[in-house]
Chain A
Amino acid sequence: DAGVIQSPRHEVTEMGQEVTLRCKPISGHNSLFWYRQTMMRGLELLIYFNNNVPIDDSGMPEDRFSAKMPNASFSTLKIQPSEPRDSAVYFCASNSDGLTEAFFGQGTRLTVV
């Protein structure tokens, strides 16, 4: 099992540009989570999908952020336009229904200059 796969691992972009982060969950998992991690705020949940449907997007900071899950094996998190304060590590995690743990991808380190 390859685990949760995220791309790119690192992204440096200029303020105002569009950024798209990608995630492939573990096969068979039907819940997917996007988190953002900063030193100041820790690991914040941005959005949660279940069976490809967004269930809770209350953590999405602004309308500049959007997320999609067109099928069970792929999700994107898009920031348009990006701002320096969006600089953080973005993690994707997945799990199967139930009460078990979430498995994390390696993260995407985003730097907006």
Chain B
Amino acid sequence: QKEVEQNSGPLSVPEGAIASLNCTYSDRGSQSFFWYRQYSGKSPELIMSIYSNGDKEDGRFTAQLNKASQYVSLLIRDSQPSDSATYLCAVRARTYKYIFGTGTRLKVLA
């Protein structure tokens, strides 16, 4: 089992729709969870962090964490073509390493 798993996609959604991205992790002791966005040829940039169970909202983005189920998700409301990118889920494990999933490619269709 991979430490952090994501569906590679591509996930295609029409402009204005909600995009839902999911991630599971294996280390129950993980404490910090992150969503990074990576455009082609660029470095990953942080868009959301979440540390406790529940939802965290920031503009059009909502991160959801369920530690019992070892599940993290990212919702993007009112998706825009500029949101088209690869979204990387990252977990900071008990060993303080940041472990990344392989990413989900999102395509927002105009």
Chains A and B bind each other: yes
Q: Which A residues are within 8 Å of any B CB, using their own CB?
A: 31, 33, 35, 41-43, 45, 48, 50, 55-56, 91, 93, 99-107
Tell yes or no: B45 within 8 A of A by CB.
yes
Q: Which residues of A contact B101 (CB under 8 A)?
A: 42
- A contact face: mostly helix, strand, loop, or mixed: strand
Q: Which residues of B contact A43 (CB under 8 A)?
A: 44, 88, 100, 102-103
A99 with B92, Cβ < 8 A, contacts A91-B43, A106-B43, A107-B43 known? yes
Q: Which residues of A contact B98 (CB under 8 A)?
A: 33, 45, 93, 102
CB distance from B82 to the nearest CB of A (A): 20
| A101 pairs with B49, CB closer than 8 A | yes
Tell yes or no: B34 within 8 A of A by CB.
yes
Q: Which residues of B contact A41 (CB under 8 A)?
A: 102
| B97 pairs with A42, CB closer than 8 A | no
Q: Which residues of B contact A55 (CB under 8 A)?
A: 95-96
CB distance from A33 to the nearest CB of B (A): 6
